[in-house]
Amino acid sequence: MGCRTHSYIIALSLSLVLIACHSNSQQVSAHTNKTGFSENPVTTPIRPLSYDTTSAQVKEIISRLDKFYAAQSRAGFNGSVLLGYKGNVIYERCYGYANRERKIPLNPNSSCQLASISKTFTGAAVLYLYQRKHLDIDKPVQAYIPDFPYPAVTLRMCLDHRSGLPDYTKWVGNYNKDFSTPINNDQMLSLMATHKPHLEFKPNTRFTYCNTNFAVLAKVVEVVSEMNFRDFMEKYIFHPLGMMHTFVYDPYKPLAVDAAISYRYNWVREPDMFADGVYGDKGIYSTPEDMYRWDQSFYNNTLLNPTMIDLAYGPCSFERPGIKNYGLGWRMLCYPNGNKIIYHNGWWHGNNTSFYRLIKDNFTIIVLGNKFNKSIYRHAGAICDIVRGTSAANSDFDSEE
């Protein structure tokens, strides 16, 4: 049940509108003017991933990683791992099941719920449209969603979590007592416009991580592009990069046979609930190989130019003093010497995921778990120690969502 191994290295009344939730083509608010969106997707040659197994040093690192993950697997880890260095996949393994009841093992094409790593895609989609002058991230959300009840909140404040918006996963239950039926972004925004839950703080005065921000941004993408978010992401982001096993989850459609089921720590399936129909903050499924294509697209400026990428990666002052910060859709570790680690973790239901990018070295760590296991967030530090040949885990990497 293992993935291919290769090498080279270094260092997430309403019953009356559920029909809309089932629809494949979500409708823009009747108050929204048509934008006349027209854009051709990026076209680049889709090449197979590159693998390198030539170095004796790498073989030793692979041996150490195999021992580490054998121990992690015995301790309950169920998921997939990929390491990449300068465009080459250097380590790839799958441990355990995509579907335990049917004894379907994880394999390289087993798509897993990325949870909050999805925010990196939503943020990049907004910057993609910004780069092409289809929107302005410094305009208020109301310019795109007229019924949005907070006039001072801009797209940029959503991207960097400085909006003050309350997290919908916490307040929707106050107005919608059906916790088991998934709602969509339109329904969440309708509840927000109707009930106007209080802001957590005055917009743009401080940082607070909030899922609502990226659910709002996904709707903005729909308004501007006049497309369903799922369709936009497939046409303009996933397929141009060759990410053929990546998609936005639809709770009203069955998952692919080998897609990873979300499990609690004791192998009980995590059922869908009201928030599972909301996307942009979560909801994207992918594989480690597709995630490596995503990672490499930034080095190649395939979707975003260097100016947009630099904008996404900073400035480093949004979260709190110290090295841990947030850019536009990315968490960051910003060191005094100028080095940055660009990353995002995810946690939704039983899915714990980790995506670390040591951009100076073009070294990437991707860990996707579909059975609840918080230790996954410590893997990146342990992997870096194995690569360096040291033994003390790097506490900078020890984070959750």
User: Is the confidence at residue 222, as pLDDT, over 80?
Assistant: yes
Q: What's the pLDDT band for 321 if we cut at 50, 70, 90?
A: confident
Give the separation between CA 241 and CA 209, rounded to whole angstroms.
Answer: 28
User: Is the confidence at residue 146, as pLDDT, over 90?
Assistant: yes
Q: Angle at Cα 248 formed by Cα 327 and Cα 365, nearest 5°? A: 50
**Residue 370 vs residue 258, higher pLDDT:** 370
Convert the pLDDT of each residue in 71-126 to its tens digit. 999 999 999 999 999 999 999 999 999 999 999 999 999 999 999 999 999 999 99
**Residue 54 vs residue 150, higher pLDDT:** 150
Task: Provide mean pLDDT across the span 318-325.
Answer: 82
**Proportion of the chain above pLDDT 70, given as a percent:** 89
The H or E element that residue 366 is part of is strand 363-369
State residue 32's pLDDT score: 43
The H or E element that residue 284 is part of is strand 284-286
Q: Which positions ≥6 away from 90 have C-beta within 8 Å?
A: 6, 7, 8, 9, 51, 52, 58, 61, 62, 83, 84
User: Domain map of the chain by residue range?
Assistant: 14-397
User: Is the confidence at residue 173, as pLDDT, over 90?
Assistant: yes
Rounded to whole angstroms, what are the CA distances from 299 to 56, 218, 240, 310, 322? Answer: 27, 24, 15, 12, 26
Lowest-confidence segment of 14-18, 24-28, 33-37, 279-283 by average pLDDT: 14-18
Give the separation between CA 335 and CA 341, rounded to whole angstroms.
Answer: 9
Give the separation between CA 302 and CA 72, rounded to whole angstroms.
Answer: 35
Report, at the CATH architecture level, how domain 14-397 is classified.
3-Layer(aba) Sandwich (3.40)
Does the pTM surpass 0.85? The reply is yes
Q: Which two tokens stand for residue 92?
A: 């790839």
State residue 398's pLDDT score: 64
Nearest to 156 by CA among 5, 312, 332, 291: 312
State residue 15's pLDDT score: 35
Backbone angles phi, psi at 114, to 5 degrees: -75, -15
Task: Provide mean pLDDT across the span 206-217.
Answer: 97
Nearest to 273 by CA among 183, 138, 384, 167: 183
State residue 354's pLDDT score: 98
Task: Provide mean pLDDT across the span 309-336.
Answer: 88
3-state secondary structure of 97: strand
User: Is the confidence at residue 290, as pLDDT, over 90?
Assistant: yes
Q: Which two tokens stand for residue 96?
A: 């355990």
State residue 322's pLDDT score: 84
State residue 271's pLDDT score: 96
3-state secondary structure of 358: strand
User: Is the confidence at residue 278, as pLDDT, over 70?
Assistant: yes
User: Is the confidence at residue 318, as pLDDT, over 80?
Assistant: no
